[in-house]
Structure 1
Amino acid sequence: MACKYKITTVKALLAITLSGLLGSAQAAVNTKQEGVLSIGSDLTWAPYDYLVDGEAAGFDADLMKHMAASLGLKTKTEDTRFASLILGLTGHHYDVIASALYITPERAKQINYIPYLKTGGSLMTLKGSEFMPQTKKDLCGKKVASLKGAAWVPALHKLSAGYCAENKLGSITVQEYPSSPLAAQALLSRAADVQFDDAAVSQMMVDQTKGRLQITSKEILEPVIIGLGVAKGNDSLLAALTSALEEQKKNGNYQALLKKYNLQEPSAEEIAAAYKG
């Protein structure tokens, strides 16, 4: 009986100690609402940030739930239009921005970043196509479907007028569409040879067309680096979230999400370049 009492006592003491440690860790995290990590996100850009049955979904929502849980916090997302995200953060409407926010030198003067993601473009063709482009140079002489106004469109025009013309490989015909699904439809109907789209959007198109499309490029093209945004001065939250991200890398959750969304982890060199612009 005494032995059982001792074991029970030890278990109780361990529980109290762990509870105390968790409480201390939570107390060290400076959030707007106790026990809650408030997130500013523009929930209009699938598959990074969007709504499903009134709840935040996408890469950022998935990652933030994992990170918050490791800090003993719940998540609450404030749907905010992209142009107002930084203003909302500096005005303390939420604790952190998680909204596929590109790192730029101008933004880095206003907020602190936690770099966590590399995105950019991927190339897609019809499943089974003999045309398997890997780089932009492979697009010479081809019809390329793209979202209207995408960042890589000027680069394709420049490549066409330069490299393609100089090597007599044929010009790149860029066909711009109002949305990614419409660009994909052009590819499916063979009105285009290839689709150039955001890496995660490309994976979403492959999934939604049930494998009728395939991603052929191995590396992300025209890469950009994305970071979480934390208000300057909130050093405790910055440190806590940085630690939480590292924990997700160690336990494999982060890598699983990268694979699911066809995204990549940025290198130290790429992060440094993003800060320099």
Structure 2
Amino acid sequence: MAADLSSATLVEKGSLTYGVAASFAPFEFQKDGKPVGFDIDMIEALSKKLGVEAKPMNMDFQGLIPALQAARIDIINSAMYINPKRAEQVDFVPYLKIGNQVLVQAANPAGITGRDASLCGKTVAVTLGAIEEIYARQDDKRCKDAGAAGVTVLTLPTGQDSYLSLRQGRADAAFDSTPGAVELLQNSPGVYAVVGPEFESNTQIGMATRKGDKAMADALTAALKEIVADGSYKALIAKWKLPASVALFD
């Protein structure tokens, strides 16, 4: 199967218009007013294989699926974690698997030890609509079911807002992807720390297409196979310093 978009319906002819919430480093974030990151480089590589220009449309994360369903964008390319609820709304082309970490202030004043009972009665910052919100709400239920104080889930528009709320002490912890946590610790030495083991480490992330849009899904899948075969996929993982364990393909 060759990478071919000729049978797909595009928002703009000659362009692959993709929705992105550019606030989730190192996958997509803003630099000099433009989105950069692993996903941005990947969609550029895929678009070359497909013979179109990659055209980003930056928006809040919770607006991505509605924009796709309304045909304002062709696909979602925003490190979207695949879960059953989302899979009811959109189709996915998986391209990485990824784990998560619990972030705290470097001094860890709340004494949190990981994704465990130490979160009960604490405030956890997460991106609104992201899978980390689901995890935090699961922890809230788990604490309450055990007769302990629940978790206060502080939902915020972006990962940067979560980091800031943690830094300012408005949250006791934040949940982030393992690559995101690594990047944060590198860029803000002495400010944050990771506690406890990685969790949900086999969650897949994927590009999302409209339900039943087989032409688009097939074209992305074929292009993805091509960048795996020519080495571009592994090169991008290395460039963005992602752990080798994220690779879904050899």
Deviations, residues 121-162 of structure 1 (Å, cap 9, x unaligned):
303467799x995x534x649996631684333444455567
1:75 is aligned, of 54, 57, 65, to: 54
Instruction: Map 1:1-277 onto structure 2 (within 5 A).
Output: 26=4, 28=6, 30=8, 32=10, 33-43=12-22, 45-47=23-25, 48-119=27-98, 121-124=100-103, 136-137=115-116, 140=118, 146-147=124-125, 150-157=133-140, 179-185=161-167, 195-199=173-177, 200-210=179-189, 213-215=192-194, 217-221=196-200, 224-250=203-229, 251=231, 252-256=234-238, 259-260=241-242, 264-265=246-247
| Counterpart code for 1:198 | D
Deviations, residues 25-55 of structure 1 (Å, cap 9, x unaligned):
5564635244422112234x33244433332
What is the alpha-carbon distance in structure 2 between the residues aligned to residue 157 and residue 163 of structure 1? 10
Change (3 A) 1:262 1:201: farther
What secondary structure, in the 3-state scheme, does the structure 2 residue paired with 1:69 have? helix
Alignment gaps of 5+ in structure 2: none
What secondary structure, in the 3-state scheme, does the structure 1 residue paired with 2:78 have? coil
Change (3 A) 1:121 1:141: closer
Alpha-carbon contact 2:3-2:49 (below 8 Å) kept: no
Larger RCO (CA under 8 A, 6+ residues apart): 2
* Max Rg structure: 1
What is the alpha-carbon distance in structure 2 between the residues aligned to residue 127 and residue 136 of structure 1? 17
What is the alpha-carbon distance in structure 2 between the residues aligned to residue 265 and residue 31 of structure 1? 30
**Deviation of 1:238 (Å):** 1.4
Alpha-carbon contact 2:120-2:140 (below 8 Å) kept: no
| Counterpart code for 2:93 | I
Once superposed, which parts of structure 1, at least 4 consecutive aligned residues long, lie more than 6 Å away? 126-129, 141-145, 161-165, 171-175
Higher normalized helix content (fraction of residues): 1
Give me the CA root mean square deviation.
4.4
Change (3 A) 1:57 1:96: same
Alpha-carbon contact 2:103-2:173 (below 8 Å) kept: yes
What secondary structure, in the 3-state scheme, does the structure 1 residue paired with 2:221 have? helix
Higher normalized strand content (fraction of residues): 2
Alignment gaps of 5+ in structure 1: 1-23, 166-170, 268-277
What secondary structure, in the 3-state scheme, does the structure 2 residue paired with 1:260 have? coil
| Counterpart code for 2:124 | S
| Counterpart code for 1:181 | Y
TM-score (normalizing by structure 1) = 0.60
TM-score (normalizing by structure 2) = 0.65
Paired residues, number: 231
What secondary structure, in the 3-state scheme, does the structure 2 residue paired with 1:230 have? strand
What secondary structure, in the 3-state scheme, does the structure 2 residue paired with 1:99 have? strand
Aligned-residue sequence identity (percent) comes to 23
What is the alpha-carbon distance in structure 1 between the residues aligned to residue 187 and residue 53 of structure 2? 31
**Deviation of 1:255 (Å):** 3.2
